[in-house]
Amino acid sequence: MDRIRRNQRLSAMLQLLSESPNKIFTLSHFCDLFGTAKSTMSEDIDILRDIVQDFDLGEIETMTGAAGGVRYRPTMKKAAAREYITRLAAELSGPERVLPGGFLYNSDILSSPDITRKMGRILATAYYEENPDFVLTMETKGIPVALATAEALGVPLVIARHSSKAYEGSAVNINYVSGSSGQIQTMALARRAVREGGRALIVDDFLKGGGTAEGMVDLMREFNVTVVGMAFVMAADLPDQHRQLEARALMTLSIEKGRGGATAVVKPAEWLLT
């Protein structure tokens, strides 16, 4: 490769940083890759910091000292998050998405990569300071958002199952009462999936009765894991229970029944509005 000019270096470096979110790269790593001096590299990083700031692409931080280096976090500013979630809530509102039984159809939203990536950025932004070691979700609908959150945080995703599978090996099983149905259900997680003593961020698609969420907390206790937070795409409008769980949702949902049939009222969560 010919001598690399600054504009090439900057673009490539930002791309490499953003392909490994929240990972610390040493300055020497980039100096070696691009054949530049440390002083030049420091200037480059200053320029990049301004770029991601100006275009709301996230944050670039430099750390000094022995564990020093540079890292990129795909954070989203509160104003941008509020605007995005407000638009999404409007899209989910109305009578068209209400299914028989008073459920909201949102599977398309929950598995659209461009949407889950944005939701993952918003949730990760709220939990970087908690330093989770992994994200935990319960199959199935929350997996894409949980993966996107884990990706932004730069940590693995762990998926709890409804039953233990032969192809996951020995597992820890717990029973929990589903808050919405009142029935006893099982949650299983392979022993190998989680290291003892770690920190988990729980991410799931929907918080209603809170039974599944409490089950996940119980499950983590079996692994001696600290739950640093619980985040949901949507929560039913039951504020008291949520406060007890210290859970955070992006949106609240209530299904309202009128003369013309049921309609979904979806609103951005309060913490995004303040």
What does the DSSP assignment read for 100-154? TTTEE--HHHHT-HHHHHHHHHHHHHHHGGG--SEEEEETTTTHHHHHHHHHHHT
Q: Does 51 help bind a second copy (rule: CB under 8 A)?
A: yes
Nearer to a second copy, 54 or 129 (CB): 54
| Interface positions, 223-262, toward a second copy (CB under 8 A) | none
Nearer to a second copy, 244 or 264 (CB): 264
Nearer to a second copy, 161 or 267 (CB): 161
Q: Does 62 help bind a second copy (rule: CB under 8 A)?
A: no
Q: Does 196 help bind a second copy (rule: CB under 8 A)?
A: no
Q: How many other C-beta atoms are found inside a 10 Å radius of the C-beta of residue 9?
A: 20
Measure Cα distances from 246 to 122, 158, 184 in Å. Answer: 17, 21, 23
- All residues at 6 or more sequence positions from 106 whose CB lies less than 8 Å from its CB, including other chains: 92, 97, 205, 233, 234
Q: Where are the alpha helices (DSSP H) in the chain?
A: 6-19, 27-34, 38-54, 78-92, 107-110, 113-127, 143-153, 211-222, 239-245, 270-273
| Interface positions, 90-149, toward a second copy (CB under 8 A) | 99-101, 103-105, 107-108, 111-114, 116-117, 139-141, 143-144, 147
Report the interhelical angle of 38-54 vs 27-34 (nearest 10°): 100
Among 24, 27, 157, 265, binds a second copy (CB under 8 A): 157
Burial class (CB in 10 A: 0-12, 13-18, 19+), 260: exposed
Nearer to a second copy, 27 or 57 (CB): 57
Q: Does 214 help bind a second copy (rule: CB under 8 A)?
A: no
Say how many CA atoms lie within 13 Å of 164 toward its Cβ.
15
Nearer to a second copy, 43 or 218 (CB): 43
Q: Does 80 help bind a second copy (rule: CB under 8 A)?
A: no
Which range in 124-132, 187-195, 212-220, 246-254 contacts a second copy by CB under 8 A?
Answer: 187-195
Q: Does 166 help bind a second copy (rule: CB under 8 A)?
A: yes
Q: Which residues make up the interface to a second copy (CB under 8 A)?
A: 1, 6-8, 10-12, 14-16, 18-20, 47-48, 50-52, 54-55, 57, 99-101, 103-105, 107-108, 111-114, 116-117, 139-141, 143-144, 147, 150-151, 154, 156-159, 161, 166-170, 190, 192-193
